[in-house]
Amino acid sequence: MSENSRRLSFNKGYTEKGFAEKVFHLHLRREGDNDELYFRDYLNQYPDTAKEYEKLKLGLWKQYEHNRDSYTDAKTDFVKKYTLIAKDIAVFKTM
C-alpha cells in the first residue's frame, strides 16, 4: 500500500480567487501512521529547525498561495527528512 493511499486530506476554503473567510484542513490517517506527530515533536524539540521550516513556508506562501497541492509538494522533502530523523531518535530512545 502506498503512503498516499493510507492518508486522506480534506481542505475547504481554497478558491481560485483566494481564500474564503475560513479555511479548514482535516487529515485522516490509518492507525499507527504517526509521521505528523513525529515531525511536530521534532520541531518542538529543535527550535532552529522549526525556524528553518517557518522560513521555507513563508518563502513558498506567495508562490503557491492559490495552489495548496503544489505548496504541500514543495515542503515534502523537508518534512520527510526531519520526520525520518525524528523516528530514528524515537527508536533509539526505546532501545
The enclosing H or E element of 18 equals strand 18-29
- List, for residues 23-62, the tens digit of each pLDDT value: 888 989 899 899 999 999 999 999 999 999 999 999 998 8
Residue 4 pLDDT more than 70? no
Task: For residue 69, give the nearest of 17, 31, 25 by alpha carbon.
Answer: 25
Question: Where in the sequence is the domain holding 83, given as residue range(s)?
Answer: 4-94
Contacts of 90 (CB under 8 A, 6+ apart): 38
20: its cell numbers? 474564503
pTM of this structure: 0.78
22: its cell numbers? 475560513
Count of domains in the chain?
Answer: 1
- List, for residues 64-85, the tens digit of each pLDDT value: 888 888 999 999 999 999 999 9
pLDDT at residue 39, as a whole number? 96
